């Protein structure tokens, strides 16, 4: 093998070795995390036999911890506001932060440098989200208070202040409302009150139909809130079907009965002694007698 070919082969082998080290770098950021937690971030790497020169940790672009094995002591911290490093829990593979706050959410980067002769350096980053849990419960308002088939029902659900805002989702009779339909529409939004403090709100509109009610005429409307795996809450209300129920119309039957009663009473009246045939005959005779007297007086 020629000298030039040997040099090329060694060079390729060196590049492959460096690339292998590049691909082996991994950073792990735990989740979920809430305000006040102690958090350990890890950085795993394989230098393939090379010696470690230094490990450096950054929050965004600010270095806050460095580990150099050749130095004594091997660790060094740098002042970054709100970041508190637990040196006893930090070494060449990890860094531990105490009493984390939501303001230090962001990208954390691990930088690994090999020692001479390569001094190869590689960086990997990961995002850390620090949650501020809601203080309080979900609130729900429903209008109108009277629920009827065919009518529009509106409801509003709001979370307490948190960071980030919780996710809210509706369910009807324990069935989650994932999307809008011709009968159900939902609206979701997030409102910031101040920096790193916000609430979420969701609205639902339902055109009520009979299928929403169970056999007892009840329907449960529920609002569920969740913030990662750290916080869950729900608020619900059981609504009763108050659709008016009209009695069947019986007017024609009762009218027939009333008419029959009236006809019977009339027949009884006409058959009574006051209006019987004998009375009519007596009245006719008296009338004829009076006419005869009247004509007799005229002739005279």
In tens, the pLDDT along 34-51 reads 999 999 999 999 888 889
- Measured from the Cβ of residue 167, the count of other Cβ atoms closer than 10 Å reads 15
Q: What is the Rg, in whole angstroms, of the alpha carbon atoms belonging to the chain?
A: 47
Domain 3-131, second-level architecture: Sandwich (2.60)
Query: Could you state, in order of their start, the residue ranges of all structural domains in the chain?
Result: 3-131, 139-240
Query: In this structure, what are the phi and psi dihedrals at residue 61, rounded to the nearest 5 degrees?
Result: -115, 5
Note the pTM of the prediction, 2 decimals: 0.69
In tens, the pLDDT along 172-226 reads 999 999 989 999 999 999 999 888 999 999 999 999 999 999 999 999 999 999 9
Residue pair 227/134 in contact (Cβ under 8 Å)? The answer is yes
Q: What angle (nearest 5°) sits at the alpha carbon of residue 224, between those of residues 219 and 227?
A: 175
In tens, the pLDDT along 246-268 reads 766 555 444 444 445 545 553 55
Domain 139-240, second-level architecture: Sandwich (2.60)
């Amino acid at each position: 093998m020629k000298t030039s070919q040997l040099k090329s082969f060694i060079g390729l082998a060196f590049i492959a070795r460096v690339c292998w080290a590049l691909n082996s770098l991994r950073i792990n950021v735990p989740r979920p995390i809430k305000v006040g937690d102690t958090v350990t971030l890890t950085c795993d790497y394989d230098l393939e036999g090379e010696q470690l020169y230094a490990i450096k940790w950054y929050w965004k672009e600010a270095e806050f911890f460095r580990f150099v094995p050749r130095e004594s002591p091997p660790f060094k911290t740098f002042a970054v506001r709100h970041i508190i490093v637990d040196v006893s829990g930090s070494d060449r593979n990890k860094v531990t932060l105490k009493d984390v706050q939501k303001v230090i959410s962001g990208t954390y980067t691990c930088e690994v440098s090999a020692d001479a002769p390569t001094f190869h350096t590689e960086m990997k980053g990961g995002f850390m989200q620090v949650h501020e849990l809601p203080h309080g419960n979900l609130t729900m308002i429903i209008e109108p208070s009277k629920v009827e088939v065919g009518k529009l029902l509106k409801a509003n659900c709001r979370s307490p202040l948190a960071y980030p805002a919780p996710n809210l989702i509706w369910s009807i009779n324990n069935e989650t409302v994932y999307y809008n339909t011709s009968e159900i529409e939902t609206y979701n939004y997030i409102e910031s009150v101040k920096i790193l403090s916000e609430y979420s709100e969701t609205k639902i509109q339902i055109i009520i139909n009979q299928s929403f009610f169970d056999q007892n005429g009840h329907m449960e409307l529920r609002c569920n809130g969740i913030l990662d795996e750290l916080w869950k809450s729900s608020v619900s209300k059981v609504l009763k079907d108050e659709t008016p129920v009209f009695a069947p119309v019986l007017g024609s039957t009762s009218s027939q009965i009333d008419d029959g009663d009236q006809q019977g009473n009339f027949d009884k009246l006409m058959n009574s002694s006051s209006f019987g045939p004998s009375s009519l005959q007596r009245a006719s005779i008296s009338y004829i007698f009076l006419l005869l007297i009247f004509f007799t007086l005229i002739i005279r």
